[in-house]
Structure 1
Amino acid sequence: MFKKRYYTLRYQASSEVELILPNQPIIGNKPLIEHTSFSILVWNIFKQKRSDCIDILQQYADKAKLILLQEAQTTPPLLNFISQYNKIADHVPAYCFNDIYAGVMTISDSLPTSLFSFREKEPLIRVPKSALITIYPINHSKQQLLVANIHAVNFSIGIKIYRQQIRMLLTRIKEHNGPVILAGDFNAWSKQRVDLLYNLVRSIELKPVSFSVDIRKKFMGRPLDFVFYRGLRLDTAEIISTTTSDHNPLLVSFRLDLHPQY
């Protein structure tokens, strides 16, 4: 059953892993955002190759309402972290090796009301990359927060598949009437990719988060990790310097926009 293309795996404390299929009803009544301000952590965790990466997650477990991971693997240390801090983790495996699933994972304190999973094969190496959209209730609001977590395709000649993957995600985002966060490892290492990415996100009125001290992971002189947003006010944005991954985590704080315009 795990061969169904669009499944998502859910991990929770004291629960068996749950297989979420497309269009499966989800009952999520607890608002993720209780107050006007909240923080997110965005991080390519480098397949947990360095054991002390879990220490970083523990440091920010109570500070970040959302943790968006790329290259997350369902290893015992990560699953123990989810259980220990009573988190809910939705995981879109790109591939499986030795019974360990790897892909994007969005960790939160509340169940999403709906989710959409995406996979796109790398054109050259044929190993997929994954992406995930989760939608969460906001306290005292009819609107909901859409959160998109992406690990973009990397090894390709030209940008056809890169464009296809991002457009597929943005098509869903465009339909959403409410605040939006789009974040992850975009592998935007060429001018073609950067230009395409910025043109696409601008087309649906997403704004980029800037960092005053920019120590994001770079390749060919260009940063790979981004956070884009809409319908929110940016409070603070910082990058955490660490040797526990080949990427540095992005920590961004937002404030709900009480008078948004879409």
Structure 2
Amino acid sequence: MFKHRDYTLRYRANNEVEIILPNSQMIVNKPLIDKTTFTIMVWNIFKQKRADCIQILEHYADKTKLILLQEAQTTPQLLNFITRQNKIADHVPAYCFNNIYAGVMTITDTLPISIYSFREKEPLIRVPKSALITIYPIYNSTQQLLVANIHAVNFSIGVKSYRQQMHMLLNRIKEHNGPVILAGDFNAWSQQRLNLLYHLVSTIDLKPVNFSNDIRKTFMGRPLDFVFYRGLQLDTAKIISTSASDHNPLLVKFRLDLQG
């Protein structure tokens, strides 16, 4: 399976896992965004190593339109959550160990109309990090919502691999004519990485979400988790304090700002 670099795994309630290959045809009968406002959760779930992480997901399952996870592992507990909540989960495995896949996962109620997966090997430890773009219809609009979920490369000397991973993602995002959300664990722990990240997202007109009570996970004094957006209005943004992961979940509410 891992010979197909660009595949995605899809999990649905009470269904077997599907392998989604590039250019797969998708029939979507239901828009993801059907109201003026919607909420997303962004969370590095720390491979579900800590107690109560599934309870956090259960609590916010019906309060969010999108749950963007990093370090999501296909454990029975997470797959059972997807089934109980009747969700759809698109997963880009970075690696597999003991038949458990790990990588970014985007969880919603609705199928995307397009999907793109990305993998970039860590230059030192050679274990990949993954990213996922999903595109969804918006009710009563000709525009579509692009959602990018990323776990950025971490262990590197310099920023060559970091820049390469970001370029792969942003080159696809800049082609999109419609609202965009780019979020995840960017591992921007050095000033060089942070400067590069802000420069690259600014070239495609993405704005950062700021948090008044900023309790994001930090390393070397810098936050790791971010949400960037364009073509939307920011309504509210908060961070959930929890011990269920080594990262705190970000909860962001957006308002549609559509012209068509």
TM-score for both structures, normalised by structure 2: 0.99
Distance (whole Å) between structure 1 residues aligned to residue 90 and residue 245 of structure 2:
21
Counterpart residue type for residue 74 of structure 2: T
- Deviation for aligned residue 1:2: 4.0
Q: Which residue of 2 aligns with 1:6?
A: 6
Distance (whole Å) between structure 1 residues aligned to residue 91 and residue 113 of structure 2:
15
Distance (whole Å) between structure 1 residues aligned to residue 117 and residue 245 of structure 2:
25
Counterpart residue type for residue 111 of structure 2: L
% identical aligned pairs: 79
- Which runs of structure 2 are paired with 1:81-160 in the superposition (5 Å)? 81-160=81-160
Is 1:218 equivalent to 2:206 in the alignment? no
- Give the unaligned 5+ runs of structure 1: none
Q: Which residue of 1 aligns with 2:20?
A: 20
- Deviation for aligned residue 1:258: 3.0
- Deviation for aligned residue 1:27: 1.1
Distance (whole Å) between structure 1 residues aligned to residue 161 and residue 256 of structure 2:
34
Q: Which residue of 1 aligns with 2:244?
A: 244
Q: Which residue of 2 aligns with 1:78?
A: 78
Counterpart residue type for residue 95 of structure 2: Y
Q: Which residue of 2 aligns with 1:235?
A: 235
Distance (whole Å) between structure 2 residues aligned to residue 28 and residue 96 of structure 1:
30
Distance (whole Å) between structure 2 residues aligned to residue 257 and residue 14 of structure 1:
36
Asked whether the equivalents of residues 29 and 137 of structure 1 are also in contact (C-alpha less than 8 Å), the reply is no
Distance (whole Å) between structure 2 residues aligned to residue 49 and residue 222 of structure 1:
24
Once the two structures are superposed, residues 209-245 of structure 1 have per-residue CA deviations (whole angstroms, 9 ceiling, x without a partner) of 0000000000000000000000000000000000000
Distance (whole Å) between structure 2 residues aligned to residue 103 and residue 3 of structure 1:
16
Q: Which residue of 1 aligns with 2:67?
A: 67
Counterpart residue type for residue 15 of structure 1: N
Distance (whole Å) between structure 1 residues aligned to residue 259 and residue 34 of structure 2:
17
Distance (whole Å) between structure 1 residues aligned to residue 212 and residue 166 of structure 2:
26
Deviation beyond 4 Å, 4+ runs, structure 1: none
Distance (whole Å) between structure 2 residues aligned to residue 233 and residue 178 of structure 1:
13
TM-score for both structures, normalised by structure 1: 0.98
Counterpart residue type for residue 185 of structure 1: D
Distance (whole Å) between structure 2 residues aligned to residue 250 and residue 110 of structure 1:
21
Asked whether the equivalents of residues 75 and 100 of structure 1 are also in contact (C-alpha less than 8 Å), the reply is yes
Tell me the SS of whatever aligns to 1:101: strand
Distance (whole Å) between structure 2 residues aligned to residue 26 and residue 36 of structure 1:
25
* Alignment RMSD (CA, Å): 0.8
The number of residue pairs the alignment matches comes to: 260
- Give the unaligned 5+ runs of structure 2: none
